[in-house]
Amino acid sequence: MLLNLVLQGTLSDGRVIDVKQLSQGSHQGKNQFINEISALNAVQHRNLLKLYGCCIERTRCLLLYEYHENKSLDKALFGNTVLHLDWPTQFKICLGIARELAYLHKESKPKIAHQDVKASNILLDTELSPKISDFRLAKLIDDKKTYISTGVAGTIGYLTLEYAMRRHLTEKADIFSIGVVTLKIINGRANSDTRLDREKVYLLEWAWSLHESDQNLGLVNPTPTEFDENEAVALLCTQASPMLRPPMSRVVNMLTGDIEVEAVTSKPNYLTDWDFNDATNSFPNYAIDASSYSARIKVTIQLMLAQESTH
């Protein structure tokens, strides 16, 4: 079992650091420990978390990172914090994440797909600038190949359809994830919330419904005096087909206003082909075989939209 435990420490020169302890009790844990070290040593960027060092002691694996007193974006949005993420700050965070992913996908050597972009893996520094962390699941990108995973890794609510169903992994999976993260930043809510009205339970589904009815401002919290185009960019990133999702370099250019925001056409078919009305809020235990393939698709899509219990 992979254990994540973050502690605070101090180096001999007085620098405060975060110490993340990982369990080395499994082959998977060892691979992810090595994977994170390799990825962070290979790339450098102002929006990338700095790794100071590592240590292996018996069954314990320790990673030493720069300290961030403001913790994660997830805690800033949903935790007990005094942080105030006003509209300019929200935009700065969205743009910072986009620039880092654009760097990882096209400019870094090697090119990297993070594979687990989510609010809890984005740390905020003293100026509330984002730092992407946790590269345990990162994969190298080969422009001529699509990586086929032997299993699904990542976080429910951020997974793409092509990855959840066919194990196809490219940088387009990160683009889908940043679309979901951007919607969470804009609205300040989780991927799903069963306490809300039925049409608002799933954030992504609700966002698309508001867009189709020309009520984009209904998603933004608090509502700005002028509609910002972050939401339109986020919807572009969550298209069902990876071919329809813009590369991160274009996402950055759209956010900065260097190019026009592309037209958002229609709600993805993974939101229109199925009825998500489920009075029990539970998922049936379908046998996965050829005769139940369509049931498998429905369950997988529902799980993609569902939010894990800890946001």
Average pLDDT over residues 33-53: 77
Q: How many other CB atoms sit within 10 Å of the CB of residue 54? A: 17
Choosing from 66, 101, 118, the residue where a domain stops is 66
Which of the listed ranges 11-15, 101-105, 109-113, 260-264 does the model predict with the highest average pLDDT?
Answer: 101-105
Query: Could you report the per-residue pLDDT of 160-189, keeping only the tens digit for each?
Result: 777 767 666 788 889 999 999 999 888 888
Quick one: 275 and 160 in the same domain? yes
Q: Identify the pLDDT of residue 2.
A: 45
Q: Identify the pLDDT of residue 265.
A: 66
- Which of the residue ranges 99-108, 144-153, 236-245, 277-286 would you say has the lowest mean pLDDT? 277-286
| Sign of the dihedral defined by the CA atoms of residues 256, 259, 265, 270, in that order | negative
Domains contained in the chain, number: 2
Quick one: 57 and 79 in the same domain? no
Quick one: 242 and 179 in the same domain? yes
Largest separation between any pair of C-alpha atoms in the chain: 63
From its phi and psi, is residue 234 left (phi > 0), alpha (psi between -120 and 50) or beta?
alpha
- What residue numbers bound the domain in which 60 lies? 4-66
Point out the residues that are catalytic.
116
Quick one: 243 and 272 in the same domain? yes
148 within a domain of the structure (yes/no): yes
Q: Identify the pLDDT of residue 26.
A: 53
Choosing from 66, 95, 115, the residue where a domain stops is 66
Quick one: 281 and 223 in the same domain? yes
Quick one: 156 and 267 in the same domain? yes
Quick one: 39 and 103 in the same domain? no
- pLDDT of 294 over the 80 cut: no
Q: Identify the pLDDT of residue 178.
A: 93
What is the model's pTM? Answer: 0.76
Quick one: 149 and 28 in the same domain? no
Q: What is the DSSP string of the chain?
A: ---EEEEEEE-TTS-EEEEEEEE-SSHHHHHHHHHHHHHHHH---TTBPPEEEEEEETTEEEEEEE--TT-BHHHHHHSS------HHHHHHHHHHHHHHHHIIIIISSS-EE-S---GGGEEE-TT--EEE---TT-EE--TT--EE-SS--S-TTS--HHHHHH-EESTHHHHHHHHHHHHHHHHT--SB-TTS-GGGSBHHHHHHHHHHTT-GGGT-SSPPSS--THHHHHHHHT-SSGGGSPPHHHHHHHHHTSSPPPPP-S--HHHHSS----TT--------SGGGHHHHHHHHHHHHHSPPTT-
Quick one: 42 and 139 in the same domain? no
Average pLDDT over residues 99-116: 89
Quick one: 176 and 30 in the same domain? no
20 within a domain of the structure (yes/no): yes
- pLDDT of 259 over the 60 cut: yes
Q: Identify the pLDDT of residue 99.
A: 94
Quick one: 14 and 82 in the same domain? no
